[in-house]
Structure 1
Amino acid sequence: MLSEYYEQIETIIMYLALSGLFLLMGFAVHDVLKKNEIPMGGRIVVYSVLFFGCVGFLAKGIIQVFFSA
């Protein structure tokens, strides 16, 4: 039974791992910005770039699901 769903399990684990990496990257960016006392405008720019990177990653996954079916 596990061999039947191997590809789906692999895909789910990959997406979870990449989501975890995005989360860790967000924590690292937050720590660097806080320690260097970056102004609010700079923080907004950095967080928006990180956010849109995550949104692009999610959009890519959703598009792949809809067009592969």
Structure 2
Amino acid sequence: MIAVLLFAGLYLMDWSSIRSSKKTIKRVYFVLLLFYLVWNTLAVSWSGWPDPNDMIQFVFGWADRITQ
């Protein structure tokens, strides 16, 4: 859970470059942050929820068979 909060903090450190952007970009910024926090919190606290690494392996799993 500490890693989730750490990366959320790093994401928020980029706020200075987003502050002067359009309103829609600001909304997308916070929607992505909220999505990230909810997804990773569920992945950490519930064993049945896939974490981001599982999703990457699911999407790009075909590449493993090519490289072997």
Give the structure with the larger helix fraction. 1
% same residue: 12
Q: Over aligned residues, Cα RMSD in angstroms?
A: 1.8
Among candidates 2, 19, 24, match of residue 5 of structure 2: 19
Among candidates 36, 47, 68, match of residue 64 of structure 1: 47
SS at match of 1:64: coil
Among candidates 9, 13, 17, match of residue 32 of structure 1: 17
Amino acid at match of 1:57: N
Consecutive unaligned residues of structure 1, counting only runs of 5 or more, are: 1-14
Rg larger for: 1
Instruction: Name which structure has the greater RCO, CA cutoff 8 Å, separation 6+.
Output: 1
Q: Deviations over 1:34-62 (max 9, x none)?
A: 2xx21112100121012101110001112
Consecutive unaligned residues of structure 2, counting only runs of 5 or more, are: 49-68
Aligned residues: 48
Runs of 4+ deviating beyond 6 Å: none
TM-score (norm 1): 0.56
